[in-house]
Amino acid sequence: MRFKKICTADIGKKNCHTLAFYKKQGGYKQAAKALKKWAPDDLIEEVKASNLRGRGGAGFPTGVKWAFVPKNSKKPKYLVVNADESEPGTFKDRLIMEKNPHILLEGIIICCKAVAIEHAYIYIRGEFVFATERLQQAIDEAYKAGILGDNCLRSGIKIDVTIHRGAGAYICGEETGMLTSLEGYRGEPKLKPPFPAVEGVFGCPTVVNNVETLANLPYILEVGAKAYRSIGPEKSPGPKLFCVSGHVEKPGTFELPMGIPLRTLIDKHAGGVWKGRKLKAVIPGGTSAHVLTAAECDVAMDIDSLAAAGTMLGSAGIIVMDDSTCMVDALLNVMRFYHHESCGQCTPCREGTGWLEKIVQRIAHGEGRMEDLELIHDVCDRMLGKTICALADAAAFPAQSIVTKFSDDFVAAIENGGSPAWKKRHLSTVGGGASHG
């Protein structure tokens, strides 16, 4: 099937965020069909057949997740939309919420009908002030037009949508941390099982889906599961938002078929490595992903191809680094982030992220020892798979892969009294002080 942009096709057009504009493009037709014509089980089967996989990071099949929600539960069921978008290098969900918020609301309605949910919460990252305003405007418009509320699109079905703002913690993007925060507690993840589908927010069955995942639903109903599956690789298909940042001429968010070659994404869509420099490294799926060297970049950007290449699509936050990048400084930046964001419940994560930051910092600052390279691996081994949530793994993956694949940069920093950037800053401070003295 010919590829068509579904989230970003109209971005830049006047009033593209409004209900009037969205309806003119055929908006809410699929929601009306879902509410009035589709049986819940058939909707779940259609989404299963589409092979839609979660766009939040883990790539779990969406229809399969919905099917886990118990049908005979006497408790209310909830949908919690993950709009926390905190993974470094990721800026796609914000774009949808600011420029095309009704596509998200239409996806929410379809999911609610499939799983018999009457109340959806959108948990949005606290810093997203403009996106929150745009989303609230869209929700207000939808209530006023009878699209949301007690009698959605005159179907007799009730669906309410409430926005809940987070307070800027990365860990509140992890689904159980997010649900705990939504309940009013500290955003601390919980052990699974029970999974949210069985026992989620307020102890009730809960579907957690990412913004972009839900935004795919109207299109799946429009073209049908079979046609959707033909966009990109059959096992992880669909249109996909790729966020490209770092050392490229034209950074941005690009909507392309899943499975596009990474090189095409960088060289054609993002304008290539900037200033005529050479490619050194790429993080393909947000900083939690294993890094790729330039030689490893002939890979397709889809869930299974990247897993086979030893990394992951994650949140599709692609960070490009040119040959002037010192990987010691890059890793220090990443480790500082994870140490700061660890919620502290698990010792391997709380202590491990702290140790990783300290060890990489001493290498960067000219106090490193050769044994530190082995020590980094040792600390990572003690973190991986030993904690409540995957934040510890998310810190260990880049540490392991950057130290292994770019060991020359680390050896040079140890042998030469620190990383080039730190030495430059340090010497200019010392030199500056002397010249003024």
Q: Which does 208 bind (CB under 5 to 8 A by kind): ligand SF4, ligand FMN, none?
A: ligand FMN
Give the strand pairing for 279-283 and 317-322.
antiparallel
- In the bound state with ligand FMN, the residue whose beta carbon lies nearer, of 67 and 294, is 67
Distance of CA 373 to CAs 284, 324, 377, Å?
24, 22, 7
Site string for ligand SF4, 367-396 (x = CB under 6 A): --------------------xxx-xx----
**Judged by CB under 6 A, which of 96, 346, 356, 379 binds ligand SF4?**
346
Site string for ligand SF4, 145-184 (x = CB under 6 A): --------------------------x-------------
188 binds ligand FMN (CB under 6 A): no
Least distance (Å) from ligand FMN to the CB of residue 436?
Answer: 45
Least distance (Å) from ligand FMN to the CB of residue 372?
Answer: 26
Burial class (CB in 10 A: 0-12, 13-18, 19+), 164: middle
**Judged by CB under 6 A, which of 235, 350, 377, 426 binds ligand SF4?**
350
Distance CA 67, CA 204 (A): 15
301 binds ligand SF4 (CB under 6 A): no
**Which parts of 373-412 interact with ligand FMN (CB under 6 A)?**
389-391, 394
**Stretch of 153-161, 204-212, 248-256, 406-414 contacting ligand FMN, by CB under 6 A:** 204-212
- In the bound state with ligand FMN, the residue whose beta carbon lies nearer, of 63 and 368, is 63
Q: Do residues 33 and 221 make contact, with C-beta atoms less than 8 angstroms apart?
A: yes
Q: Do residues 258 and 249 make contact, with C-beta atoms less than 8 angstroms apart?
A: no
**Stretch of 75-83, 157-165, 214-222, 340-348 contacting ligand SF4, by CB under 6 A:** 340-348
Distance CA 159, CA 434 (A): 68
**Stretch of 40-48, 202-210, 373-381, 408-416 contacting ligand FMN, by CB under 6 A:** 202-210
- In the bound state with ligand FMN, the residue whose beta carbon lies nearer, of 89 and 418, is 89
Least distance (Å) from ligand FMN to the CB of residue 235?
Answer: 16
Site string for ligand FMN, 208-247 (x = CB under 6 A): xxx--x----------------------------------
Distance CA 128, CA 98 (A): 9
The span from the first CA to the last CA of the chain, in angstroms, equals 70
Residue type, 265: L
Least distance (Å) from ligand FMN to the CB of residue 329?
Answer: 23
Q: Which does 94 bind (CB under 5 to 8 A by kind): ligand SF4, ligand FMN, none?
A: none
335 binds ligand SF4 (CB under 6 A): no
Distance CA 293, CA 428 (A): 31
With CA atoms as reference, report the closest residue to 62 among 177, 220, 182, 281. 220
**Which parts of 11-70 interact with ligand FMN (CB under 6 A)?**
54-58, 60
91 binds ligand FMN (CB under 6 A): no
Match 């593209």 to its residue by tokens.
Answer: 16
**Own/partner pairs for 347-352, CB < 8 Å, 24+ apart?**
348/382, 348/383, 348/386, 348/387, 348/392, 349/383, 349/387, 349/391, 349/392, 349/395, 352/379, 352/380, 352/382, 352/383, 352/392, 352/395, 352/396
CA angle 183, 348, 345 (to 5 degrees): 20
Q: Do residues 349 and 342 make contact, with C-beta atoms less than 8 angstroms apart?
A: yes
Total residues at interface with ligand SF4 (CB under 6 A): 14
3 binds ligand FMN (CB under 6 A): no
Least distance (Å) from ligand SF4 to the CB of residue 340?
Answer: 11
Residue type, 161: V
Q: Which does 345 bind (CB under 5 to 8 A by kind): ligand FMN, ligand SF4, none?
A: ligand SF4
Match 């420099």 to its residue by tokens.
Answer: 277
Match 């929600």 to its residue by tokens.
Answer: 69
The token duo for 336 is: 């500082």
- In the bound state with ligand FMN, the residue whose beta carbon lies nearer, of 281 and 391, is 391
- In the bound state with ligand FMN, the residue whose beta carbon lies nearer, of 313 and 328, is 313
353 binds ligand FMN (CB under 6 A): no
Orientation of helix 129-144 relative to helix 101-115, angle to 10°: 60
With CA atoms as reference, report the closest residue to 341 among 185, 172, 176. 172
- In the bound state with ligand SF4, the residue whose beta carbon lies nearer, of 273 and 349, is 349
195 binds ligand FMN (CB under 6 A): no
Contacting positions for ligand FMN (CB under 6 A): 54-58, 60, 82, 84-87, 171, 173-175, 208-210, 213, 389-391, 394
Q: What does the binding site for ligand SF4 look like in residue numbers (CB under 6 A)?
A: 171, 189, 342-346, 349-350, 387-389, 391-392
